[in-house]
């Protein structure tokens, strides 16, 4: 029974630690959520246990752990999406990479369990609390999201950007969305308002652009 417990205990611990990280990603609706992080941490722990079991064989046991790090890099890269002028998924890719490291720490040796638990706590706090801090900073910086529907043609986009530039509004990102009606284009903009420009003033200037069909403020 002790041998079974020696196998089961690290796998259960790795699953729990992976769930702790994946829970935060799941709550925020990220593509790699609870199940993905549990399986990643569990698999990494299993590979770590295999590496430890091969220590007496005529082979290098660290090669398995090294391949885990390489393989996780490909999985993390798959969560990064290029959408228009924005890049999304970098945080999820980093959480995947860190979760694999936590799983390896659990599987390699019991001496690393406390390290893995502490790392999990820090990762969870980073994802949860820093997310709130970023939201507060975005509010302080007056970062706002706009959805614009404009007439078909590059001149419409140029007119919008020129109008924002005239007010010294910084465009942080510009992403094209699927059009809802023919002969129109739809865009999602993230803008940073200067202190002297209010939301109402910016909307008033945009409403005077001939090419704009609709402006949504979110």
Q: Structural domains in the chain? A: 2-138 (no CATH), 141-217 (3.30.70.260)
Which H/E stretch holds residue 159? helix 154-166
This prediction has a pTM of 0.59
Rg (CA), the chain: 24
21: exposed, middle or buried (Cβ count in 10 Å: 0-12, 13-18, 19+): buried
pLDDT in tens, the chain (218 residues): 357 778 889 999 999 999 988 887 777 777 677 888 899 899 999 988 888 777 655 566 677 777 777 777 767 666 665 444 445 667 778 888 899 899 999 988 888 999 999 999 999 888 888 767 766 655 555 677 888 888 777 677 788 888 888 888 888 777 888 877 788 888 888 888 777 877 788 878 877 777 777 777 76
Beta strand segments in 153-201, E: 170-177, 184-192
Q: What is the dihedral of CA 199, 204, 209, 215, to 10 degrees?
A: 50
Whose tokens are 């609870």? That residue is 34
- Cβ proximity of 23 and 79 under 8 Å: no
């Amino acid at each position: 029974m002790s041998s079974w417990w020696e196998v089961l205990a690290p796998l259960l611990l790795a699953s729990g630690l992976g769930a702790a990280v994946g829970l935060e990603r799941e709550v925020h609706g990220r593509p790699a959520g609870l199940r993905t992080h549990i399986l990643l941490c569990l698999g990494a722990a299993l590979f770590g246990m295999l590496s430890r079991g091969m220590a007496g064989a005529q082979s290098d046991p660290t090669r398995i752990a090294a391949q885990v790090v390489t393989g996780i890099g490909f999985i993390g890269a798959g969560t990064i999406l290029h959408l228009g002028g924005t890049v999304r998924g970098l945080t999820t890719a980093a959480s995947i990479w860190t979760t694999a490291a936590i799983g390896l720490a659990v599987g390699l040796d019991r001496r690393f369990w406390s390290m893995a638990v502490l790392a999990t706590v820090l990762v969870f706090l980073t994802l949860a609390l820093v997310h709130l801090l970023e939201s507060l900073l975005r509010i302080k910086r007056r970062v706002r999201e706009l959805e614009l529907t404009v007439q078909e043609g590059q001149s419409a986009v140029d007119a919008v950007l020129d109008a924002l530039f005239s007010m010294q509004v910084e465009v942080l990102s510009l992403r094209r969305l699927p059009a809802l009606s023919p002969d129109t284009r739809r865009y999602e903009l993230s803008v940073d308002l200067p202190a002297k420009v209010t939301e109402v003033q910016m909307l008033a200037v945009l409403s005077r652009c001939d090419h704009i069909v609709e402006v949504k403020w979110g």
